[in-house]
Amino acid sequence: MDLPRTPSFRLDGRRALVTGAGRGIGLAAASALADQGAHVTLVARSADEIETVAAAIRAKGGAAQALTLDVLDLAATEAAISAAEPFDILVNNAG
């Protein structure tokens, strides 16, 4: 008997914010979340890196936006979070 397989870890409709998303663990986390259907907001100081990551996620059919931000700048971080859409998942990977 063949049983239908259903995805056990889907994040469709969820929003994720990933700091340090331009490379390393942040990049891997953002890519994995997007692969599972999450809309990912990529945060890093390097606009070039996160724009490249966002483009790669979108090229695979995912949803991503890039937010250039230094999380050590408290005022800028508070303003960005206040302006952002609510998120369900936080990967606090900056630094």
In a domain, 69, yes or no: yes
Comparing 4-8, 17-21, 59-63, the range with the smallest average pLDDT is 4-8
Q: Cβ distance 83 to 77 under 8 Å?
A: no
Residue 87 in domain: yes
Q: How far is CA 22 from the centre of its chain?
A: 10
From residue 32, how far is each of 19, 25, 26, 60 by CA, in Å? 14, 10, 10, 12
Q: How many domains does the chain have?
A: 1
CA distance 68 to 8: 33
Residue 9 lies in a domain: no
What CATH code is carried by the domain that includes residue 75?
Answer: 3.40.50.720
* 37 has pLDDT over 70: yes
The tokens describing 93, both together, are 């990977």
Q: What is the number of residues in the chain? A: 95
Domain that holds residue 64: 15-91
More confident residue, 40 or 80: 40
Within 10 A of 56 (CB to CB), how many other CB atoms are there? 15
How many beta carbons lie within 10 A of that of residue 74, not counting itself? 9
Residue 38 within a domain: yes
Say what the pTM is: 0.88
In this prediction, residue 1 carries a pLDDT of 58
Is position 7 within any domain? Answer: no
pLDDT tens column, 10-28: 999 999 999 999 999 999 9
The closest of 83, 87, 82, 76 to 40, measured between CA atoms, is 87
